[in-house]
């Protein structure tokens, strides 16, 4: 018997590349010699369409096989439901899967009345996909963008969950929701469930670069603001200290004290020159140089 790994691609948010990642991971595994079946677990059937099949015309789907399990009825063999797509196989989907989700919801609500031998609504997909385990190295399940019973079923049937996350701050809420769901499934249905990882997708370095530029613009404005105050205060302070030193030196008869006062005066002006030199360079000369660079 093959040692098969079942990975769900799941996140309770649309457009985060779950379907694309399922295809890409499948396409990366098959040239390495692994046999892969991709399971379309979304009533929108994007995976089926993306792999070149029309969901309206596919005969056997994940939904039909789950209905067989739900109704304890006979149906086609699982291997006859698979569609070959280049190097990987596809268990397709169509809108019937939405009806299956409704059936699962009803079944789940009536589970208190169910007998002990009755299969829980959350484990229907696990039983449906069981026959595939002995034929494939990997089963990749593309989940819908929700935390409903289809996703819970996929997690209960999986060894791990891969979470494709769009590199955007709005993605964090969905990550939290999905990780909480994984913990629930692990606690109640599938103790061996692992997190394969969070796959950061749709990363745009131009956005990151723009953010860095924004940060520099803000920092520059702060430096200019602070510098213009430091420049004023330090000039007034340096001038005041100089006046006190000069008057003190004129009034004093102690040459040693006069020398000390001049030494301090020199240090004050050197510090003033350094502080103002750095401030002026950062605030004015550097932007001027980068401006010249842009022109040339
Ligand atoms: N790595 C990527 N970089 C940029 N766009 C991508 C990437 N992967 C997928 N897309 C695009 O993002 C959109 C959503 O991808 P999809 O895989 O359908 O997400 P999901 O299945 O999570 O809803 C599609 O238009 C797809 O072409
Ligand atoms: Mg999708």
Q: Burial level of 154, CB count in 10 A (0-12/13-18/19+)? A: buried
Task: Please give the Cα distance from 61 to 42 (Å, whole number).
Answer: 11
User: Residue of the nearest CA to atom 27 in ligand 1?
Assistant: 20
Question: pLDDT at position 293, please?
Answer: 61
Which of 19, 20, 38, 204 to probe ligand 1 with, by most ligand atoms within 8 A of CB? Answer: 20
Question: In this model, does residue 9 exceed pLDDT 80?
Answer: yes
* Closest C-alpha among 93, 71, 67 to residue 82: 93
Question: pLDDT at position 291, please?
Answer: 63
CB of 41 closer than 6 angstroms to any ligand 1 atom: no
Task: Please give the Cα distance from 101 to 228 (Å, whole number).
Answer: 65
Flag the least confident range among 31-40, 46-55, 127-136, 247-256.
247-256
* Closest C-alpha among 4, 2, 10 to residue 195: 10
Q: If you measure from the C-alpha of residue 10 to the centroid of ligand 2, how many angstroms do you get, rounded to a whole number?
A: 9
Question: pLDDT at position 132, please?
Answer: 95
294 or 237, which is more confident: 237
Q: If you measure from the C-alpha of residue 39 to the centroid of ligand 1, how many angstroms do you get, rounded to a whole number?
A: 17
Question: In this model, does residue 104 exceed pLDDT 70?
Answer: yes
Reduced to 3 states (helix: H, G, I; strand: E, B; else coil), residue 51 is coil
* Closest C-alpha among 32, 30, 126, 136 to residue 82: 136
pLDDT in tens, 147-176: 999 999 999 999 999 999 988 778 788 899
Question: pLDDT at position 145, please?
Answer: 97
Question: In this model, does residue 191 exceed pLDDT 60?
Answer: yes
CB of 107 closer than 6 angstroms to any ligand 1 atom: no
Residue 242's region, left for phi above 0, alpha for psi from -120 to 50, else beta, is alpha
Question: pLDDT at position 158, please?
Answer: 98
User: Residue of the nearest CA to atom 8 in ligand 1?
Assistant: 17
Q: If you measure from the C-alpha of residue 95 to the centroid of ligand 1, how many angstroms do you get, rounded to a whole number?
A: 21
Domain locations in the chain?
A: 5-203, 207-295
CB of 45 closer than 6 angstroms to any ligand 1 atom: no
Question: pLDDT at position 278, please?
Answer: 82
Task: Please give the Cα distance from 214 to 218 (Å, whole number).
Answer: 6
175 or 278, which is more confident: 175
Q: Name the band, by pLDDT with cuts 50, 70 and 90, for residue 188.
A: very high
Question: pLDDT at position 203, please?
Answer: 82
Q: If you measure from the C-alpha of residue 186 to the centroid of ligand 2, how many angstroms do you get, rounded to a whole number?
A: 23
Which of 8, 11, 12, 15 to probe ligand 1 with, by most ligand atoms within 8 A of CB? Answer: 15
E runs forming strands in the chain: 5-9, 36-40, 83-85, 88-91, 138-142, 160-166, 194-201
Question: pLDDT at position 266, please?
Answer: 85
CB of 20 closer than 6 angstroms to any ligand 1 atom: yes
Neighbouring C-beta atoms of residue 213, cutoff 10 Å? 10
Question: In this model, does residue 294 exceed pLDDT 60?
Answer: no
Task: Please give the Cα distance from 129 to 102 (Å, whole number).
Answer: 19
272 or 49, which is more confident: 49
1 touches 25 (CB < 8 A): no
Assign domain 5-203 to a CATH class.
alpha beta
Question: pLDDT at position 210, please?
Answer: 56
Torsion angle, alpha carbons of 168, 174, 176, 177, to 10: 180
Question: In this model, does residue 209 exceed pLDDT 60?
Answer: no
Q: Burial level of 153, CB count in 10 A (0-12/13-18/19+)? A: buried
Task: Please give the Cα distance from 73 to 61 (Å, whole number).
Answer: 15
Q: If you measure from the C-alpha of residue 21 to the centroid of ligand 1, how many angstroms do you get, rounded to a whole number?
A: 8
**Average pLDDT, integer, range 110-114:** 64
Ligand found nearest the CA of 167: 1
Task: Please give the Cα distance from 68 to 77 (Å, whole number).
Answer: 11
Task: Please give the Cα distance from 90 to 95 (Å, whole number).
Answer: 16
Flag the least confident range among 62-71, 190-199, 216-225, 238-247.
216-225
Torsion angle, alpha carbons of 219, 220, 224, 227, to 10: 60
Question: In this model, does residue 66 exceed pLDDT 70?
Answer: yes
**Average pLDDT, integer, range 6-11:** 98
124 touches 114 (CB < 8 A): no
Orientation angle between helical segments 96-109 and 149-156, nearest 10 degrees: 80
Q: How many CA atoms lie less than 13 Å away from 225 in the CB half-sphere?
A: 6
194 touches 164 (CB < 8 A): no
Q: Mean of the per-residue pLDDT values for the chain? A: 87
């Amino acid at each position: 018997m093959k040692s098969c790994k079942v990975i769900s691609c799941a996140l309770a948010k649309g457009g985060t590349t779950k379907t694309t990642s399922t295809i890409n991971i499948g396409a990366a595994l098959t040239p390495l010699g692994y046999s892969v079946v991709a399971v379309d677990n979304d009533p929108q059937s994007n995976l089926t369409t993306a792999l070149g099949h029309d969901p309206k015309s596919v005969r056997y789907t994940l939904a039909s096989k789950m209905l067989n399990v739900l109704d304890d009825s006979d149906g086609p063999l699982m291997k006859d439901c698979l569609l070959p797509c280049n190097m990987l196989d596809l268990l397709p989907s169509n809108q019937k899967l939405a009806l299956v989700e409704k059936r699962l919801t009803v079944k789940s609500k009536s589970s208190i009345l169910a007998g002990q031998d009755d299969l829980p609504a959350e484990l229907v997909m696990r039983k449906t996909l069981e026959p595939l385990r002995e034929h494939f190295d990997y089963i990749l399940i593309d989940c819908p963008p929700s935390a409903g019973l289809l996703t819970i079923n996929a997690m209960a049937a999986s060894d791990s969950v891969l979470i494709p996350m769009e590199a955007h701050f709005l993605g964090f809420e969905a990550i939290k929701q999905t990780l909480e769901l994984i913990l629930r499934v692990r606690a109640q249905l599938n103790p061996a469930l692992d997190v394969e990882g969070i796959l950061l997708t749709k990363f745009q370095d131009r956005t990151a670069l723009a953010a860095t530029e924004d940060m520099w613009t803000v920092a520059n404005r702060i430096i200019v603001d602070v510098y213009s105050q430091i420049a004023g205060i330090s000039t007034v302070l340096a001038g005041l200290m100089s006046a006190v030193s000069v008057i003190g030196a004129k009034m004093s008869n102690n040459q040693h004290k006069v020398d000390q006062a001049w030494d301090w005066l020199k240090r004050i002006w050197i510090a003033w020159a350094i502080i103002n030199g750095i401030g002026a360079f950062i605030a004015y000369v550097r932007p001027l140089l980068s401006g010249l660079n842009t022109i040339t």
